[in-house]
Amino acid sequence: NTILFGNAGDYWHIPFPIGSNNDFRSHARAVRSMEMRPDDILICSYPKSGLHWQQEMVHMLMQKTSEITSGETSMGFLDMMPQAHFKALPSPRFLVTHMPYRYVPKQAFEKNVKIIHLERNPKDVFVSFYNHMNKNVPPLDYAGTFEQFFYLNIEVGYYYGDLFDYLMEWQTGKEAHPDCPIFTSVYEDMKLDPIGGVKKLNTFLGTGCSDELCEQITLACSFDKMKEHKEKTAQPEMVAMFKDKKIPFYRKGDVGDWKNYFNDAMNDEYDKEYKRRMSDYKTVYKYTL
**Which of 102, 96, 106 shows the shortest CA–CA distance to 44?**
96
Closest to ligand A3P by CB, 30 or 159: 159
Closest to ligand A3P by CB, 103 or 249: 249
Q: Counting contacts by CB under 6 A, is residue 52 touching ligand A3P?
A: yes
Q: Counting contacts by CB under 6 A, is residue 229 touching ligand A3P?
A: no
For the chain, give percent helix, strand, coil, nearest 5: 50, 10, 40
CB of 48 to ligand A3P, least distance (A): 5
Q: Counting contacts by CB under 6 A, is residue 128 touching ligand A3P?
A: yes
C-alpha of 8 from chain center: 21
CB of 164 to ligand A3P, least distance (A): 18
Q: Counting contacts by CB under 6 A, is residue 121 touching ligand A3P?
A: no
- Whole-number Å distance between alpha carbons of 129 and 161: 13
Q: Which of 98, 117, 177, 229 is catalytic?
A: 98
- Planar angle of CA 225, 228, 231, nearest 5 degrees: 140
CB of 284 to ligand A3P, least distance (A): 20
Q: Counting contacts by CB under 6 A, is residue 207 touching ligand A3P?
A: no
Pick the stretch among 51-59, 69-77, 167-175, 270-278 that binds ligand A3P (CB under 6 A): 51-59
| Strand residue runs (E) in 79-213 | 94-97, 114-119, 182-186
Q: Counting contacts by CB under 6 A, is residue 99 touching ligand A3P?
A: no
Is 85 among the residues known to form the active site? no
- Whole-number Å distance between alpha carbons of 278 and 9: 33
The DSSP H or E segment spanning 285 is none
Which position among 189, 215, 257, 273 is part of the footprint of ligand A3P (CB under 6 A)? 257
Pick the stretch among 60-68, 100-108, 235-243, 248-256 that binds ligand A3P (CB under 6 A): 248-256
Q: What are phi and psi of 250, to 5 degrees?
A: -130, 80
Decide if 149 contacts 218 (C-beta within 8 A): no
Closest to ligand A3P by CB, 47 or 107: 47
Pick the stretch among 9-17, 23-31, 47-55, 273-281 that binds ligand A3P (CB under 6 A): 47-55
CB of 246 to ligand A3P, least distance (A): 11
Work out the number of other CB atoms within 10 angstroms of the CB of residue 138: 11
Chain residues in the site for ligand A3P (CB under 6 A): 47-53, 124, 128, 131, 221, 223, 226, 249-253, 257
Active site residues: 98
